[in-house]
Amino acid sequence: MTASLTPAVPQTRQAFRITGTIGGLSAADQRLLFDRAQTLDDHIRARTSEIIRRVRQDGDRALRELAYSLDGVALDQLEVPCTAWRDAAAIVAPEVRSALERAARNIRCAHEAWLPSATEVEVEPGVIVGRRPDPLVRAGIYAPGGRALYPSSVLMGAIPARVAGVGEVILCSPPGPSGIPAPIMLAAAEIAGVDRVFSVGGAGAIAAMAYGTQTIPRVDRIAGPGNAYVAAAKLQVASDTGIDAPAGPSELLVIADHSAAAETIAREVLAQAEHDPDAAVVVIATSQEIASAVARAVRSLTPFEKRADIIAASLAARGALLVAPDVATAIRFSNDWAPEHLLLAVGDPDAVLRDVVSAGTVCLGTTTSVVFGDYITGANHILPTGGAARRYSGLSTLDFVRWTTYQRVSEAAALSLAGDVAILATAERLPAHAAAARRPVSP
């Protein structure tokens, strides 16, 4: 760092909220670290519920009123003409378009490899059962466009849906001052192969995709990140349409041993902490020496970051720098914490990977920066947070199919099955079931 640079914020002695050993965490520190599922206050829940009610009742009119009151934009129409997003793709800076296209190719390549396949098995002679993945009819992708723009989220949401064979993929993103999403968002929509784009943001967009309006069609599943109102809306409509994993602020857990350079770890910490003051970043070092070096690097680098205030707020609120006696102990902690992103900054990350059982995505070694996965490796960055990685996976083609099961029983097998089925049906006091099992078999 050159002496001519001026720090954005003053240096502080303690960057991380929690420091110490894994075994020495107080009950309060453990609660702070583990109780991080996004909690929505009553105001957000109530306001979101009211927005959903208005959209269900008044459709497009409600969306226009919300755009005017929340975004300060008077919308002539909700749908963005396809010529606008094609023009945006043509005028976006060539290097940006090239990077988006590279990311799109990698996302498509990875998700094509992950396409699910139909399976069929003969469980006993003459008894066939099968399972077939069928693409959803329509999927809705949400991409934020408020304080920050996320064209990468357009690619991450739309391309897996397209690869899965979804019949129609629509995109909702907040309007800019011109009444349509930013050009880079529209360019991403064109590159991703989206079918329709709408200038609608926030909880209103989620409600519109969940229930349909005069202009926006109802979808079978909604995917994509968003603010607290978007998260609340997705949870409130989840009984009526599919959603991806519940999501909150960004998370990173780094496990670092003696092979990791402290500045490299610090750079990863800053990258994820700059997302949001509520982001959660934890570093587990296998010695106090490593932990101290990481702490010094973070303190040294933070003041020169453009988003230094956000980074400092994040680390001061939910940052932790811990020491574990060995990598195995750190992995056990990680499996309990279930991070969105796990960086294995250890000498042999592949040997450790087999023990990881709950993480949204795992980056193997310090050359595999988490930000590569955020943008361009092809792995999806729409991931579970708040400990939800214990039960949810990152977005993939699996989110855009439903499974049809089928079964076929031959005449000989029907005769063989009938007796036991009748016994079980009689035990459950369902005589009509027993009679159906015993009926004469008609080929």
Q: Summarize pLDDT for 343-355 with one digit per residue, the tens.
A: 999 999 999 999 9
Q: Report the pLDDT value the prediction gives residue 2, as an integer from 0 to 100.
A: 37
Q: Report the pLDDT value the prediction gives residue 409, as an integer from 0 to 100.
A: 96
Q: Report the pLDDT value the prediction gives residue 326, as an integer from 0 to 100.
A: 96
Helix then strand then coil, in percent of the chain rounded to 5, is: 45, 15, 35
Listed residue (165, 221, 166, 158) closest to 191, CA to CA = 158
Q: Report the pLDDT value the prediction gives residue 414, as an integer from 0 to 100.
A: 95
What mean pLDDT is predicted for residues 421-429? 97
Name the band, by pLDDT with cuts 50, 70 and 90, for residue 3.
very low
Q: Which residue among the candidates 275, 305, 340, 381 is catalytic per the annotation?
A: 340
**CB contact at 8 A, 338 and 389:** yes
Which pair of structure tokens corresponds to residue 164? 């899965």
Name the band, by pLDDT with cuts 50, 70 and 90, for residue 38.
low
Q: Summarize pLDDT for 45-90 with one digit per residue, the tens.
A: 999 999 999 999 999 999 999 999 988 899 989 999 999 988 998 8
Whether 381 sits among the annotated catalytic residues: the reply is no
Percent of the chain with pLDDT strictly greater than 90? 86
Q: Report the pLDDT value the prediction gives residue 39, as an integer from 0 to 100.
A: 59
Please list, residue by residue across 113-129, b when 16 or more beta carbons sit within 10 angstroms of its beta carbon and e when fewer do.
eeeeeeeeeeeeebbee
Q: Report the pLDDT value the prediction gives residue 304, as an integer from 0 to 100.
A: 94
Q: Summarize pLDDT for 132-147 with one digit per residue, the tens.
A: 999 999 999 999 986 6
The SS3 of residue 293 is helix
Which pair of structure tokens corresponds to residue 282? 């934890």
CA-CA distance, 26 to 268, in Å (whole number)? 26
**CB contact at 8 A, 157 and 142:** yes
Tell me the CATH architecture of domain 42-243: 3-Layer(aba) Sandwich (3.40)
Q: Report the pLDDT value the prediction gives residue 21, as an integer from 0 to 100.
A: 96
Q: Which residue among the candidates 111, 275, 341, 381 is catalytic per the annotation?
A: 341
Q: Is the pLDDT of residue 11 over 70?
A: no
User: To the nearest whole number, what is the mean pLDDT of the chain?
Assistant: 93
pTM of the model: 0.91
CATH, domain range 18-38+248-378? 3.40.50.1980
Name the band, by pLDDT with cuts 50, 70 and 90, for residue 247.
confident
Q: Report the pLDDT value the prediction gives residue 245, as an integer from 0 to 100.
A: 84
Q: Summarize pLDDT for 112-123 with one digit per residue, the tens.
A: 999 999 999 999
Q: Report the pLDDT value the prediction gives residue 204, as an integer from 0 to 100.
A: 97
Of residues 348 and 6, more confidence is placed in 348
Crossing angle between the packed helical segments 42-58 and 228-237, to the nearest 10 degrees: 60
Q: Report the pLDDT value the prediction gives residue 402, as an integer from 0 to 100.
A: 96
Name the band, by pLDDT with cuts 50, 70 and 90, for residue 17.
very high
| In the chain, ranges of CATH 3.40.50.1980 domains | 18-38+248-378, 42-243
Q: Summarize pLDDT for 328-340 with one digit per residue, the tens.
A: 999 999 999 999 9
Q: Is the pLDDT of residue 7 over 70?
A: no
Name the band, by pLDDT with cuts 50, 70 and 90, for residue 1.
very low
Q: Report the pLDDT value the prediction gives residue 243, as an integer from 0 to 100.
A: 95
Q: Report the pLDDT value the prediction gives residue 4, as an integer from 0 to 100.
A: 39
Q: Summarize pLDDT for 355-413 with one digit per residue, the tens.
A: 999 999 999 999 999 999 999 999 999 999 999 999 999 999 999 999 999 999 999 99
**CB contact at 8 A, 136 and 402:** yes
What mean pLDDT is predicted for residues 196-209? 97
Percent of the chain with pLDDT strictly greater than 70? 95
Whether 341 sits among the annotated catalytic residues: the reply is yes
Phi, psi of 170 (to 5 degrees): -115, 155
Residue 5's Cβ-side half-sphere holds a number of Cα atoms within 13 Å equal to 13
